[in-house]
Amino acid sequence: MDKHGGGADLCPACRELVDYARARLARCPFGRRKPTCSRCPIHCYQSAMRERIRDVMRVAGRRLLLARPLLALGHLLDALRPCPDRRPLKR
């Protein structure tokens, strides 16, 4: 696995989802201020891809609590942060 969890042993469908998510995050106008996707005022994922992410997180989210508790806690804390205003940062 690489340092971001997108292992080389992924099936083609999962690899496509990881690549799609990384591309969207790289172009996020909020940059490091980006809230969790569920609280973001800009929905940058296509609805079909958003549903695929939800499906993955239903399983992976629970496993993350056991495998990487600090990372899971960080994600939960991110969800509590207030959303930035709709004016994104300029890059």
User: Does residue 1 sit within a domain?
Assistant: no
Residue 33 inside a domain? The answer is yes
Q: Is residue 47 part of a domain?
A: yes
Residue 51 lies in a domain: yes
Q: Looking at residue 68, what is its pLDDT?
A: 93
**Which of 90, 14, 71, 78 is closest to 40 using CA atoms?**
78
| 58 inside domain | yes
Are 53 and 47 in contact by the 8 Å Cβ rule? The answer is no
Residue 75 pLDDT: 84
Examine residue 88 and state whether it is found in any structural domain, yes or no.
Answer: no
Written as tens digits, the pLDDT of the chain (91 aa) is: 445 555 568 899 999 999 999 999 898 888 777 888 778 888 888 999 999 999 998 988 889 889 999 988 988 888 888 877 766 555 5
Report yes or no on 49 lying in a domain. yes
**Domain boundaries, position 17:** 12-80
Domain count, the chain: 1
State the DSSP string of 47-64. Answer: HHHHHHHHHHHHHHHHHH
